[in-house]
Every structure is written in structure tokens, then in C-alpha cells.
Chain A
Amino acid sequence: MASTIQTAPYVKKGKLGKRFVKSIPFYIMALPAAVYLFINNYMPLPGLVLAFKDFKANKGIYGSDWYGFKNFKYLFATGEAFTITRNTLLYNFAFIIINTILAIFVAILLSEMRSKFKSVYQSMILLPYMISMVIVSYLVFAFLSTENGFLNNTVLKFFGKKPIPWYSEKKYWPFILVIVSCWKVIGYNCIIYLSSILGIDRTYYEAAAIDGAGKIKQITSITLPLLKPTIIMMTLLAIGRIFYSDFGLFYQVPQNQGALYPVTNTIDTYVYRGLIQNGKPALSAAAGLYQSFVGFVLILTANLVVRKIDADSALF
């Protein structure tokens, strides 16, 4: 547990020199990843200036003329800016809440399962994560297509209901998208929480059982509190990507249907449609920088709040 580290005898803050010497082995351990991240993530960073350039091939990225914020203009200039920002934010909030709760729920069920089926369930739930969104969009179409869809042809028919033109009724789509997203990522998220639960010392549970605590009590008083750091971390990370949206989920799954735009158009799909003919790298760089920057500000704020409440769980 986190608190045990703080009480470890050799942690004596203040003696910088000694701390440094003690830290050297850990610097060495961190080095390979630090070098990789430097090459993979930091070295290309200066390229971000592309977002502020009037790019011309013969001048190169750095030699092209400055363009100010003109490349960003298309993201804000119109009334659509509100809709796409709202959609992006609301869906991400919904995903964060629903996917987290469900993933934890399933992870707990799996961790408490005493059966051979455990790994079977686990692998099966992970299945959807392995296929691409394009394929998911075909499968969704198989269920929702107006003429041949499984829902209209089998389910609704069975109940004697009229077929529904799913792809032109926008009211269903917030739910459909949340369900599809959940279906696809639940296995992935659940494994993250599961690995955290598996790391919990079993003696806690044994002690609780001796004290007469039932399953539910054990879960609420041991599992959930110990999962808190992981939950907070996952949520913070999701907040950092709150201005991004899964392009496949919002473009391919609704089959790019115009009637659904009011509830499916997000920043990423808007940018895609606006740039498909215009292929200027500077414009897409601007969109990416905008999304990253907002995420960065939000995550810094959220992290500050977390640090105030529970310093151990903060990201940094």
C-alpha cells in the first residue's frame, strides 16, 4: 500500500546528495524508456510550428512563412463549432462514466469468480476490442439496416412492431453510440482494473472474512478503496483526451449519415470532412494542436484538484 512506502526507514528527505546517489540505479532503469520517449515524442515536437505556417514544399516546414492563427480559423469560424464541441465533450463524459463503472463492475465479478470459465469469459469480452471500427460499422449495419437488419427483420417483427429507419432517426444514436463504444472497450478497460485487483494482498480479504464481512462488504471496504488510484488515473487520462473522439465510431458506425450529424458530428469528423479535399498538412496540424492544448489545460486543472484532495493519486 502507498502509505507503507512513506514510512520506509531510509526515506529521509532533505539530504539531496544522498537521495541523488540512492536514485542513480533508478535513473538507469528509467533511461531506456526516457530515450525512447525522447526520440518518439519529443524530437518531432518542434514540428508543431507547422500549425502556424503557410506551408510550401520548397521552403520546408521551418522555412515557410508564418501564418499566425489563420490555420485555426476553420475550427471556430462557424456556428457548427458549438455543436461539434458539445458533442465531443458530452460523449466523452458519458464514456468516462459508463465505461468506468461497467469495467470495474465486470472486473470485480471476474476477480471473485472461482471457476474455470473465468478465463473464457475474460477472453470473450476482450474480443470486440480486437476488431477495427470499420468492421464494427458493418456489424452494426447488419443489426440496424432498414430492409435487412436483424432488429427490424427479426426482433421488431416478432413483437409485431413497425420497422424503424434507424439511420435517419437521430434520437436513438446517443444510445447506440454509447452501447457500441461500451461493447468495444469494456474488455480492455476491465483488464486494467482486473490487474489492479489481482495485485491486492489476499490477506486483507482473509482478515475481513474472519471478521465476518460478506462478499459485498469486502468489495466496498477493500476492493473499491484500493482501486481508487487506478480509477483516478484512468479518469485523468481520459480527461486529457476529452477533445478527441474516435473517428471510426462517429464517422463509420453511423455510416456518415447526414440526418444524424446533429448528434454524431464531432471535432474529428468535422475536420475530416472539411479537409478531405484540401489535404493541407498545416490545417490538420492545427486541429491536433488545438485538441491537445485543451486537453492539457484540463488535465493540469484536474490534477491540481486531485492533488489537493488526495496527493497520492495525482499524476505528478
Chain B
Amino acid sequence: MFTKQEKTFQVVSHIVLAILAINALLPMVLLFMSSITDDTTLIKEGYKFFPKKFSLYAYEYVFKTGPRVPRAYMISVILTISGVILSLVITTPMAYALSKKYVLGRGFMNFYVFFTMLFNGGLVPTYMNYTNVIGIKNTFFALLLPGLVTNGMYIMLMKSYFVTSIPDEIMEAARIDGASEFKVFRTIAIPLAKPIITTIGLFSGIGYWNDWQNGYVYLTKRDDLYSIQNLLNRMVQNIQFLSANSQNVANSDIGLASIPTVSIRMSMAVLGILPMLIAYPFAQKAFVKGITLGGVKG
């Protein structure tokens, strides 16, 4: 039964969270509304929740000029799924290993991970490394590998979870039963770490879905590999450059006059995040199930 304090707590929680949620949601509604506003109206009156004139032209334009949009969505989906799986497969065991205090050289290993969070070679050396040594320029791996698979923060977060939340007694019992460390990890640690694995999976999924920079740097000849965010970002930037340089451009009127320069930015933002919003609840469910199953099977 709820105590009185508990009840008040629940009510207050609801109110606070509802306010926060609406705060987060309202600008999104504005974003969506302005994406379906007529471009000229948008320039005239600014962004409005209830615009005077609606138009789907911005979306039409994106799909017309970008016949690669469906393909780019597909690339994004494949990239995100494979990225999340790879990321978790690499991050989780490392974090688990770091959480074991008796591991020899743990201090060094921690520092090894931590150091990567502060220093990196910078764009040019990283590019040279991936292009000359690893040789992934203009391949799908250029979207998957550079900078995204795991990072120090994910490892540290997970490690901290393993340290604080997974009682060693349970694992000890398994060890006494003769289970190997790998088995303990698979059958006990992973299922118990569901919350943090889901969280890191989510972060890494958002990271992969939203990444457009790797495509910018590493794809010079494979426009068929553009992810959706990369493609949309290129379109927006090109339109911006085009309108800034229109004095130079011959027949710019033919191209420029037909571009909804303002509303297109909004429609592209919507196109970029919408699939993620729709897929998120389903993905999360499937994901949690997957971890549970994986744990049990192992």
C-alpha cells in the first residue's frame, strides 16, 4: 500500500516530469510545424505553431532531388544495428574486466582507457591512419569504425556499474560450481547488467544514427554509402553555399528559385530523427529481450 508520503511523492513526480516532458516536446512540435509551413510564409512570419499556410513542398523537394533517400535510410539502419552490436560486444567485456580488482595491471588498463578520452591525434593523423594503414576509405567500414565503436566513457560507465551493482557473491557461487570466468560473465554478469547495457546500446545507437562526419571525411567516391544524416546534411549545406554564392552561379534562378531554403532545413531535421523516434520503443524491447536470451543461452 502507498503511504501518504509515497502518494505525494508520486503526484509531485508526475507534475515535474510532465512539465519537463512538455518543455522538451513543444520545440519539437514547432520544428515539425515549421517543416510543413510554406517557405515564403516562414520567411515572412517566422516559425509558428499555427502557420497561416501549409505546404509539403519541402518534403517533396527532398525526395525529388534525393532519389537516394530510401537507400540512405537503409544504410543508416544497417549501420546503426551493426554498430550497436559491435560496440556492445567490444565494450562490455572490457568494462567487466576492468571492474575486477584483483586483475593484475588494472591500474594501467584503466589509464590506457582513460587516456584516450583526453588525447587524440586530431583529424589529419586519424584520417591518415584509417586511410593508409587500415585502408577503409570509401568502404562501409569507414562509417562503422572511426571514433564510434567504443569510447572511454562507455567503458568507464559500464565498469562503474559492474563495480557497484553486481554483488560478487553470486558470481563466487558460480565459480565454486566450476564455471569458467567467461561463463560467469555470460550467464550472470550480462543479465544483471541489463540497465547499463541498454543505456550504452541506446547511446551508441544514437551516435551511429546521427553521425554524418565519418561520411564526410571518408566517402569521396561512394555516394551510394551515404547514411541518411550524411545525405541530408550535404543537401542543407549545399543549399546554404548555393544561396550564399548565387552571384557566381550561372542560371542560379533555375535551381535556387525552386528550393524552399528555410523550410527544407526543418523538414530535413524531421526526416533525420523521425525514424529513430518510431523505432526506438520497439528496438528497446527487442534489445532487452536479446540480452536476456543471450545471457540465458550462454
Contact = CB atoms under 8 A, between A and B. Distances in A.
Interface stretch (B62-70, B71-79, B153-161, B249-257): B153-161
Contact of A5 (B10, B116, B168): B168
A192 B199 contact: yes
Contacts of B124: 47, 50, 61, 281, 285
B269 A135 contact: yes
B163 A130 contact: no
Interface in A207-223: 214-216
Contacts of A97: none
A188 B200 CA distance: 11
A96 to B, nearest CB: 15
A46 B21 contact: no
A196 B195 CA distance: 8
A301 interface: no
Given A1-B164, A11-B101, A30 B128 contact: no
Interface residues of A, number: 104
Contacts of A292: 118-120
A22 B168 CA distance: 16
Given A139-B31, A142-B46, A192-B157, A40 B198 contact: no
Interface string B132-147: 0110000000000111
A121 B20 CA distance: 8
Interface string A1-25: 1101110111101001001101101
B107 A316 contact: yes
B246 interface: no
A22 B97 CA distance: 12
Given A121-B20, A199-B161, A23 B93 contact: no
Interface residues of B, number: 103
A141 B111 CA distance: 43
Nearest to A299: B118
Contacts of A145: 46
Interface string B113-129: 11111111111111011
A272 B120 CA distance: 19
* Chain A facing B: main interface SS: helix
Nearest to A188: B203
A237 B180 contact: no
Nearest to B9: A215
A295 B89 contact: no
B3 interface: yes
B5 interface: yes
Interface stretch (A75-83, A110-118, A170-178, A253-261): A110-118
Given A29-B96, A32-B93, A281-B123, A5 B24 contact: no
B234 interface: no
B222 interface: no
B166 to A, nearest CB: 8
A5 B163 contact: yes
A66 interface: no
12 contacts: A19-B102, A29-B181, A40-B147, A45-B121, A47-B122, A121-B17, A124-B25, A128-B28, A139-B47, A191-B202, A195-B195, A199-B193
Given A199-B192, A240-B118, 6 more contacts: A26-B103, A33-B150, A41-B116, A43-B129, A45-B125, A112-B13
Interface of A: 1-2, 4-6, 8-11, 13, 16, 19-20, 22-23, 25-27, 29-30, 32-34, 36-37, 39-48, 50, 61, 106, 109-110, 112-115, 117, 119-121, 123-132, 134-135, 138-139, 141-143, 145, 147-150, 183, 186-188, 191-192, 194-196, 198-201, 214-216, 226, 229-230, 233, 237, 240, 281, 284-285, 288-289, 292, 295-296, 299, 312, 315-316
5 tightest A-B contacts by CB?
A47-B125, A44-B121, A148-B46, A199-B165, A33-B94
